[in-house]
């Protein structure tokens, strides 16, 4: 289990005001964003992990990568306690592809003391000498900053010293960074700005298993919601923290809403990867996100990413139906059923009711109901063409009405924790905008976790509890600093929060009809000579009529071939050239098949 850890959840956030007051010095406001914020609220120092090597505590490691939004004319100031120490350095990547490095200087970009960490970069009084880069035209957007460790990511083993956040630290000779900072100076060179720096994943280490991590951070969601997270003394050693829209996933990629009983590659979308239409990694800010952030910004590599959006109102759009035979709005009988389609703004649940008896009541025994989970983005729900009694829906001149009812989740955030032995106080999570905000409700389901040590109580909370009362606590205090034996040890635990929308409703009308048998074309000759032409008895259109039966008779009325589900594969094998009689019973889905009969001539010459 090594140096692994635990804590940094989220479910909803807490207020920020007290946090900001702690971040500001009493006499002169000194602004910086980085380890100063992580160490602003008591507890123990969390050293930043900088490596690409994975283990159970660090399933998604980075080179201590931070991201910052900057405008043309503004200047980025960066510093690190690892700068110039061994391989310690700082790399910067601009949206236009330019790459910059602080090199090996032991003074430019070096944060040497706790006092410098608190002061931030010069010209702040007592500040460190930053490595700087002024943003030129074409470079506005998201810059990526890597804080390289003294060992360039190599693990030399052992834990860094566990120290209180206000104590003077010693930079470890290992893959950790004790202090780091990213600051943005305005274009007039008169002030530093905040709310610009964020990360997709934060990995660190406290040094022992019985000290607390108290950072207060802000999360910005793609659908425009904000949370404040107080880690509230989370205890453990190594940890990875990120926030996404699904937590741990099922095999089909949908949110499982469950914790996982191991850390062996649990199914969670990597926060290091770019978002997909359905898998979103939310952004962790060190301060309240700046009000001047755009909705979209350029990123290194030529892409873009989202930033501040207007909160999305849950909705269903693009309602439709495609039959199994590919016809829009129509279900066949030979290939029954089809796909009910809709697009959703978030995850959630659905109930689909089909009015089979056309009486505008959707709860009769004959009516069909389909239920399941909604995935953010496009959804397709399969209908097999059967009614509530298990019989195939009959062709009808009247349309079948389909009602879709869905409850969607807005502001959905998940906080996966990997190998987090104990979480004694529970997190404090507060959603600070949107409906009924501020809101502290969180959820979890640890019912699949083997109960070792002290489990969460309750083990399953899917109806919601206030994080102010129970922020998903588990484990017991550890007298031994090396004690890793508790409920979260080598487990993957999820806490989540969301806003549940009122029921959303949508309708679509479809027709159920028999296929048109006139599209069927039956040959009157086959020439099975392996020239690729007319080698088999090919009934054009039969693929739309599974279960169709073909019988072949010779001229004396003897059956010489039979298939109960013909697939255009009879080539007259074993029969002499000559004339034969066929009987094709086409399965149209009606009570009786449509019958085709006639003569077929075999000619191999």
CATH number of the domain that residue 390 is part of: 2.60.40.4070
Q: Tell whether 297 and 322 lie within a shared domain.
A: no
Give the pairing type, strands 211-213 and 428-431: unpaired
385 lies in some domain = yes
Q: Are 65 and 111 part of one and the same domain? A: yes
| 566 is a domain residue | yes
Structural domains counted in the chain: 3
Average pLDDT score over the chain? 91
User: Do 118 and 263 reside in the same domain of the chain?
Assistant: yes
Q: 209 with 421: CB under 8 angstroms?
A: yes
Please state, for a pLDDT cut of 70, what percent of the chain lies above it.
95
Confidence check: pLDDT of 25 > 70: no
Question: How crowded is residue 556: how many other Cβ atoms within 10 Å of its Cβ?
Answer: 5
332 and 303 in a common domain = no
> Do 262 and 374 sit in the same domain of this protein?
no
CA 337 to chain centre: 30
Whether 90 contacts 145, CB under 8 Å: yes
pLDDT recorded at residue 16? 34
Reported as a pLDDT band with limits 50, 70 and 90, residue 592 is: confident
What's the average model confidence in pLDDT over 536-551?
A: 90
- Asked, for residue 29, whether it belongs to a domain, the answer is yes
Per the model's pLDDT, the better-predicted residue between 29 and 324 turns out to be 324
* 194-199-200-201 Cα dihedral, nearest 10 degrees: -140
Residue 545 covered by a domain? yes
Range scoring the smallest mean pLDDT among 122-136, 532-546, 558-572, 573-587: 532-546
Predicted confidence (pLDDT) per residue in 235-270, tens digit:
778 888 899 999 999 999 999 999 999 988 889 999
Give yes or no: residues 327 and 420 share one domain: no
pLDDT in tens, 468-498: 999 999 999 888 888 888 999 889 999 999 9
Per-residue pLDDT, 340? 98
Question: Are residues 289 and 366 both part of a single domain?
Answer: no
Note whether 197 and 182 are within 8 A (CB). yes
End-to-end Cα spacing for the chain = 76
Query: Does any domain span residue 478?
Result: no
CATH number (domain holding residue 574): 2.60.40
Positions of E strands within 138-255: 141-148, 176-177, 180-185, 192-193, 197-199, 202-205, 211-213, 216-220, 226-230, 234-236, 238-241
| Pairing of β 66-70 and β 211-213 | unpaired
Indicate whether 152 and 297 sit together in one domain.
yes
Are residue 225 and residue 256 in the same domain, yes or no? Answer: yes
304 shares its domain with 348: no
In the listed set 426, 457, 487, which residue is the last one of a domain according to the structure? 426
**Length of the chain, in residues:** 605
Q: In which domain, by residue range, is 547 found?
A: 517-602
Check residue 30 and give its pLDDT: 57
Specify if 479 maps to a domain. no
| Within-domain flag for 226 | yes
pLDDT of residue 528: 94
E strand or H helix that includes residue 584: strand 578-586
One domain for residues 366 and 268: no
Q: How far is residue 191's CA from residue 30's CA, in Å, rounded to a whole number? A: 9
d(CA 361, CA 33): 59
Share of the chain above pLDDT 90, in %: 79
Give the residue with greater pLDDT, 160 vs 30: 160
The CA–CA distances, whole Å, from 218 to 221, 287, 298, 365, 392 equal 10, 6, 22, 50, 53
State yes or no: pLDDT of 309 exceeds 70.
yes
Is residue 67 in a domain? yes
Q: List b or e across 110-120, with b for residues whose CB sees 16 or more CB atoms inside 10 angstroms.
A: bbbebebbbbb
Q: Quick one: pLDDT at residue 4? A: 30
pLDDT above 50: residue 352:
yes
pLDDT over 60 (residue 584): yes
In this predicted structure, the answer to whether residue 434 has a pLDDT above a threshold of 50 is yes
Beta bridge partners of 63: 50
pLDDT-wise least confident of 71-85, 368-382, 444-458, 508-522: 508-522
**CA–CA dist 146, 78 (Å, integer):** 10
H/E stretch holding 23 reads helix 17-23
Report, as an integer, the average pLDDT of 58-86: 97
Give yes or no: residues 307 and 322 share one domain: no
In sequence order, what DSSP letters do the residues of 323-384 get, joined into one string? ETTS-BTEEBTTTB-EEEEEEESS-EEEEEEEETTSSS-S-STTSEEEEEEE-SEEEEEEE-
The values of phi and psi at residue 23, to 5°, are -80, -15
Domain termination site, one of 482, 512, 542: 512
pLDDT tens for each residue of 129-179: 999 999 999 999 999 999 999 999 999 999 999 999 999 999 999 999 999
CB 476 within 8 A of CB 486: yes
Q: Give the residue-averaged pLDDT of 452-468.
A: 96
**Among 382, 397, 426, which residue terminates a domain?**
426
- d(CA 46, CA 335) in angstroms, rounded, equals 60
């Amino acid at each position: 289990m090594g140096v692994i850890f635990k804590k940094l959840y989220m479910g909803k956030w807490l207020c920020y005001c007290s946090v900001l007051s702690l971040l500001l010095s009493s006499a002169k406001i000194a602004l910086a964003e980085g380890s100063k914020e992580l160490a602003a609220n008591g507890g123990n120092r969390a050293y930043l992990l900088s490596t690409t090597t994975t283990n159970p505590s660090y399933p998604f490691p980075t080179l201590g990568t931070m991201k910052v939004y900057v405008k043309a004319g503004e200047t980025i100031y960066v510093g690190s306690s690892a700068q110039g120490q061994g391989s310690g350095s700082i790399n910067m990547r601009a949206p236009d592809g330019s790459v910059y490095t602080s090199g090996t200087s032991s003074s430019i970009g070096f944060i040497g003391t706790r006092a410098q960490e608190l002061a931030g970069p010069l010209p702040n009084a007592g500040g460190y000498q930053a490595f700087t880069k002024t943003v030129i035209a074409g470079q506005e957007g998201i810059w990526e900053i890597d804080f390289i460790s003294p060992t360039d990511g190599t693990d030399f083993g052992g834990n860094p010293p566990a120290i209180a956040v206000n104590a003077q630290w010693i930079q470890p000779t290992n893959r950790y960074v004790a202090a780091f900072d990213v600051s943005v100076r305005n274009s007039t060179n008169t002030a530093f700005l905040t709310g610009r720096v964020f990360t997709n994943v934060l990995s660190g280490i406290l040094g022992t298993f019985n000290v607390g991590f108290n950072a207060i951070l802000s999360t910005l969601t793609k659908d425009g919601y904000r949370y404040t997270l107080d880690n509230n003394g989370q205890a453990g050693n190594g940890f990875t923290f990120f926030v996404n829209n699904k937590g741990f996933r099922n095999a089909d990629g949908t949110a499982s809403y469950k914790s996982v009983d191991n850390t062996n590659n649990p199914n969670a979308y990597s926060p290091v990867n770019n978002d997909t239409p359905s898998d979103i990694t939310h952004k962790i800010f060190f301060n309240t996100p700046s009000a001047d952030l755009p909705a979209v910004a350029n990123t290194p590599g030529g892409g873009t990413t989202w930033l501040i959006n207007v909160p999305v109102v849950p909705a269903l759009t693009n309602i439709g139906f495609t039959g199994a035979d590919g016809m829009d709005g129509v279900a066949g009988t030979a290939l029954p059923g089809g796909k009910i389609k809709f697009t959703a703004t978030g995850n959630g649940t659905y109930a689909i009711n089909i009015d089979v008896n056309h009486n505008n009541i959707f709860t009769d025994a004959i009516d069909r109901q389909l239920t399941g989970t909604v995935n953010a983005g496009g959804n397709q729900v399969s209908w097999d063409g059967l009614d509530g009694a298990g019989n195939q829906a009959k062709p009808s001149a009247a349309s079948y009405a389909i009602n879709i009812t869905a409850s969607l989740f807005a502001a959905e955030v998940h906080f996966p924790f990997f190998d987090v032995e104990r979480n004694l106080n529970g997190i404090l999570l507060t959603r600070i905008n949107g409906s009924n905000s501020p809101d502290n409700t969180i959820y979890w389901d640890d019912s699949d976790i083997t109960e070792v040590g002290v489990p969460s109580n309750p083990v399953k909370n899917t109806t919601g509890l206030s994080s102010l009362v129970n922020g998903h606590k588990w484990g017991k205090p550890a007298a031994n600093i090396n004690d890793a034996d508790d409920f979260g040890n080598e487990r993957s635990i999820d806490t989540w929060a969301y806003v549940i929308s009122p029921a959303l409703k949508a309708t679509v009308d479809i027709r159920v009809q028999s296929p048109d048998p006139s599209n069927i074309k039956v040959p009157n000759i086959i020439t099975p000579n392996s020239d690729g032409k007319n080698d088999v008895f090919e009934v054009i259109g039969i693929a739309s009529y599974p279960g169709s039966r073909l019988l072949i008779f010779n001229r004396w009325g003897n059956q010489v071939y039979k298939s109960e589900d013909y697939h255009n594969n009879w080539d007259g094998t074993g029969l002499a050239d000559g004339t034969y009689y066929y009987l094709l019973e086409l399965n149209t889905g009606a009570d009786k098949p449509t019958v085709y009969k006639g003569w077929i001539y075999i000619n191999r010459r």
